[in-house]
Chain A
Amino acid sequence: MIVEDFIKKKVLILFAHPAFEKSRVNKALISDMKMIDGLYFHDLYECYPDFHIDIETEQRLLTEHDVIVFMYPLYWYSAPAIIKEWQDLVLTHGWAFGHEGNALKGKTTVNIITTGGPKEAFFHDDENHFTMQEFLSPIEQTARVCKMNYVQPFTIHSTFGITDEILSAEKSRLYQFLNEIMNS
């Protein structure tokens, strides 16, 4: 056990939901996260309601954790605005990337994404033209520029009509996923 604790990775959840009070799925998903040892839950919209991101604090948090998780609902095929603001301000040249920017080197990063529409909306067909991986390419490339290991996203689709049973099953799947990452 001691060995296991020792190698357990520390997870930072950067959570972004601009209308969390109206959320049902995300509310259920995060409800027990604070009880997970070694996981730090960081609610960006609650901490920076005016988008005034504290760069020092953010960089310190990144340094202290091994796995950087972005968790958000997808809006217009992308992350909520604060994630972009966060990237712009926190991932500075010479720190996160560039010749001397190695602060994030070797860390793992992953996106936890909920979408209202069905899985099929992210296939190539008559109506839809791009896959999830294609939509997330800026995020993926950002991670690579920052020399991080990019893990393909954990997604929960069709949240508009999700039943309690499915939601609870998805929640277990998510916690299982986090557990695997922490112990990998």
Chain B
Amino acid sequence: MQAGDFFSQALVYLAAAVISVPIAKRLGLGSVLGYLLAGMIIGPFGLHLIGEEGQDVMHFAEFGVVMMLFLIGLELKPALLWKMRIPILGLGGLQLSLTALAIMILGIIFGFSWQMALVIGLTLALSSTAIIIQSLNEKKLAGTVGGKNVFSVLLFQDIAIIPILAFMPLLATLDAGAVSGTHGEEQLTWTSGLSVWAQTLVVLGAITSIIVAGKFLIGPIFRILAKTRLREIFTAAALLLIISIAVLMMKVGLSPALGTFLAGVILAQSEFRHELETDIEPFKGLLLGLFFIAIGASIDFQLIGDKPLLITELVVGLILIKFLVLFTIGKVFKMCLDNNFFFAFSLAQGGEFAFVLFSFAVNNHVLEGGVANTLIAVVALTMALTPLIMLVNEKLIQPRFGTKERKERPADHIDEENPIIIAGFGRMGSIIGRFIQACGLSATYLDIDPDNVEFLRRLGLNVYYGDASRFDLLKAAGAQHARILIITVDEGDKILEIAKTAQKHFPHLEIISRASGWRNVYDLYELDIEHVYKETFGSAMIMASDAVSKMGLRKYQINRLSKMFSLHDAKAVKEFAKTRRENKSYIRDIKQHFEDLERLMLEDQADAYEEKDLGWDISTRVDEYTKKSD
């Protein structure tokens, strides 16, 4: 590719993204749909700003998916993954096998051989990790029960790609001659030509090497690189790590996404987790965006125009089958209606791996090129429709059938307004709420997780479902009459958003807020919120006190010291926040944090706490007494 060519392409893609995504977000459509629309507009069937090279771009941009899986892996510690084994195997296994089976039966009915039908079934059973995770993050639903289950299924699908790829060649029924469009791509892998057992060995070897390298090699290497204090070298190393894993995986015929996911999980415990996250994040975002644009551009409107009826039937049929299977599984796993709708609608599309698998199937003489192309168009269409479907679910179906924002209260009870509103009923919110009840007061709850909402409603508590940063929800919860708003949600950005909405529309509300980290504390102080609580401070102080007590210090002394320490800390943090505001010097957060921490720790070591309890310290009196008697 020539430089000029590259720049003009970059111009087209970036301009499309920069123009369409904000518009889509503004219209409440989400960024994914924005990218897809941008792709369609600039694609061969729109303005024709990009042509056939869209396919190459897509292959390149698939790397965004790989990075995304790496980042997801970074968030998941192995222990957490182990805890999720039941939803992963149960939900994921059932979804994949049932959906594949249903599609396979239909395939056989329509005259495909069972081998072809099986491949089509398995491939179409996969969903789009890229689209779903992006939407989950955007809607901040990743932490809900529905979100977690969606993620479990996606994870199982990613793992399932390994055996699907491995066994697909065994299902070949077509003559090599009858297949069109073979690239001979499989010659590139190391495993081609080996027996299934040898292939398995190579695959296991590759995975083991990733685990071993992740555990013992990468840490020391990154430590050396970090010492160079050259940020770009660190970024380069992070990219190199991901690319080398991806290449290794492709060489042994595995999904690169799965390999990097694995590496992410292993590095989730390393001290470089946050650095890696911040370094990779922007690349991931850009590449994913590019990927969505490429999908939009690749939708073959020519093909759709030729057989509109068939394509429409296939698209509707695919979404319907997947939805029904998912919804049934959700029922079996006792998800509440909201979560189940969300779960089933989210996963009811074809996935990006279908593009890979279908071309692989063609190359391995399992499917004919024509069939594969039609199915690829169908998958691309279902992916493009996903954000719309989720929107329909959110705006039309949930409000009608799901958890209502307002509890239907008896009419004579309309004006029961509580002076306290608690935003979030998670780990912190539940304790706060319980104690408030124990004190004989009552609170109104806001939560985004339908399971929590249902639980609270069962207890007969006053609870509203939805995003607490929304003005109308706060109003519905009686914010104009309440006195205190307690923010307990765990995400720093969300905390700020809620606080800002409350300050703007309900300035009389006293805000008592959780803070998720130092930066969050400073930001909240900047909003002039006085009652800010570092979420881990209280329990850390109790733990430290107990530990010191085990060392033999008197408990009452520890108690007094811990009080002084807490007061001192609170004062210092306020001061830091002020200097920050004055200097406007947002040096790198981490660096600033360690500078602050260093100052505090030096002060702690000094005798800052000594002179305070003079009343019980008789040394000066002893001095005076001895002087007198001399």
Q: Are B621 and A93 in contact (CB under 8 A)?
A: yes
Residue B581 lies at the interface, judged by CB distance under 8 Å to chain A: no
Interface centre among A91, A92, A94, A99 (most CB of B within 10 A): A92
Partner of B560, one of A52, A93, A94, A99: A52
Interface 1/0s, chain B 405-422, versus A by CB < 8 A? 000000000000000000
Interface centre among B612, B614, B618, B621 (most CB of A within 10 A): B614
Complexed CA–CA distance, A91 and B621 (Å): 13
Residue A89 lies at the interface, judged by CB distance under 8 Å to chain B: yes
Partner of A89, one of B564, B567, B615, B620: B615
Q: Are A93 and B624 in contact (CB under 8 A)?
A: yes
Complexed CA–CA distance, A91 and B613 (Å): 11
Q: Are A93 and B614 in contact (CB under 8 A)?
A: yes
Residue A88 lies at the interface, judged by CB distance under 8 Å to chain B: yes
Residue B616 lies at the interface, judged by CB distance under 8 Å to chain A: yes
Partner of B615, one of A50, A90, A98, A99: A90
Partner of A50, one of B563, B613, B624: B563
- Of all chain A residues, the one with the shortest Cβ separation from B627 is A99
Q: Are A92 and B624 in contact (CB under 8 A)?
A: no
Complexed CA–CA distance, A93 and B614 (Å): 8
Residue A7 lies at the interface, judged by CB distance under 8 Å to chain B: no
Complexed CA–CA distance, A90 and B613 (Å): 9
Partner of A88, one of B563, B616, B621: B616
Q: Give chain B residues whose Cβ lies under 8 Å from the Cβ of A28.
A: none
Q: Are B612 and A55 in contact (CB under 8 A)?
A: yes
Complexed CA–CA distance, A122 and B83 (Å): 70
Q: A50-B563, A52-B560 are in contact. Are A99 and B616 (CB under 8 A)?
A: no
Distance to closest chain A CB from B613 (angstroms): 7
Complexed CA–CA distance, A99 and B626 (Å): 13
Complexed CA–CA distance, A93 and B619 (Å): 10
Q: Give chain A residues whose Cβ lies under 8 Å from the Cβ of B560.
A: 52
Complexed CA–CA distance, A94 and B620 (Å): 8
Q: Give chain A residues whose Cβ lies under 8 Å from the Cβ of B618.
A: 93
Q: A50-B563, A52-B560, A52-B563 are in contact. Are A88 and B615 (CB under 8 A)?
A: yes
- Of all chain B residues, the one with the shortest Cβ separation from A96 is B615
Q: Are A99 and B624 in contact (CB under 8 A)?
A: yes
Distance to closest chain B CB from A114 (angstroms): 27
Interface 1/0s, chain B 559-601, versus A by CB < 8 A? 0100110010000000000000000000000000000000000
Q: Give chain A residues whose Cβ lies under 8 Å from the Cβ of B612.
A: 55
Complexed CA–CA distance, A64 and B613 (Å): 22
Distance to closest chain A CB from B106 (angstroms): 70
Q: Are B624 and A98 in contact (CB under 8 A)?
A: yes
Q: Are B621 and A98 in contact (CB under 8 A)?
A: yes
Sorting the interface of chain A by its residue count into under 10, 10 to 19, 20 to 34 or 35 or more gives 10 to 19
Complexed CA–CA distance, A141 and B618 (Å): 19
Partner of B620, one of A88, A90, A93: A93
Complexed CA–CA distance, A66 and B314 (Å): 91
Q: A98-B621, A98-B624, A99-B624 are in contact. Are A92 and B563 (CB under 8 A)?
A: no
Q: Give chain B residues whose Cβ lies under 8 Å from the Cβ of A50.
A: 563
Q: Give chain B residues whose Cβ lies under 8 Å from the Cβ of A94.
A: 620
Complexed CA–CA distance, A94 and B622 (Å): 12
Q: Give chain A residues whose Cβ lies under 8 Å from the Cβ of B567.
A: 52
Complexed CA–CA distance, A122 and B220 (Å): 79
- Of all chain B residues, the one with the shortest Cβ separation from A54 is B567
Complexed CA–CA distance, A99 and B615 (Å): 16
Q: Give chain B residues whose Cβ lies under 8 Å from the Cβ of A99.
A: 624
Distance to closest chain B CB from A51 (angstroms): 9
Q: Give chain B residues whose Cβ lies under 8 Å from the Cβ of A92.
A: 614-615
- Of all chain B residues, the one with the shortest Cβ separation from A53 is B615
- Of all chain B residues, the one with the shortest Cβ separation from A99 is B624
Q: Give chain B residues whose Cβ lies under 8 Å from the Cβ of A90.
A: 615
- Of all chain A residues, the one with the shortest Cβ separation from B611 is A55
Distance to closest chain B CB from A93 (angstroms): 5
Distance to closest chain A CB from B591 (angstroms): 34
Complexed CA–CA distance, A51 and B567 (Å): 14
Complexed CA–CA distance, A87 and B616 (Å): 10
Distance to closest chain A CB from B321 (angstroms): 63
Q: A50-B563, A52-B560 are in contact. Are A89 and B621 (CB under 8 A)?
A: no
Give the contacts of A82-105 with B (CB-CB under 8 A): 87-94, 98-99
Interface 1/0s, chain B 361-390, versus A by CB < 8 A? 000000000000000000000000000000
Interface centre among B560, B614, B615 (most CB of A within 10 A): B615
Interface 1/0s, chain A 52-91, versus B by CB < 8 A? 1001000000000000000000000000000000011111
Distance to closest chain A CB from B142 (angstroms): 39
- Of all chain A residues, the one with the shortest Cβ separation from B613 is A89
Give the contacts of B533-578 with A (CB-CB under 8 A): 560, 563-564, 567
Q: Are A89 and B616 in contact (CB under 8 A)?
A: yes
Interface 1/0s, chain B 140-164, versus A by CB < 8 A? 0000000000000000000000000
Complexed CA–CA distance, A89 and B563 (Å): 15
Complexed CA–CA distance, A52 and B557 (Å): 11
Distance to closest chain B CB from A54 (angstroms): 8
Q: Give chain A residues whose Cβ lies under 8 Å from the Cβ of B563.
A: 50, 52
Q: Give chain B residues whose Cβ lies under 8 Å from the Cβ of A89.
A: 613-616
Nearest 3 interchain pairs by C-beta: A89-B615, A52-B563, A92-B614
7 new A-B contacts, CB < 8 A, other than A89-B614, A99-B624, are: A50-B563, A52-B560, A52-B563, A88-B616, A89-B613, A93-B621, A98-B621
**Which residues of A line the B interface, CB within 8 A?**
50, 52, 55, 87-94, 98-99
A-B contact pairs, 9 of them (CB 8 A): A50-B563, A52-B560, A88-B615, A88-B616, A89-B613, A89-B614, A89-B616, A91-B615, A93-B618
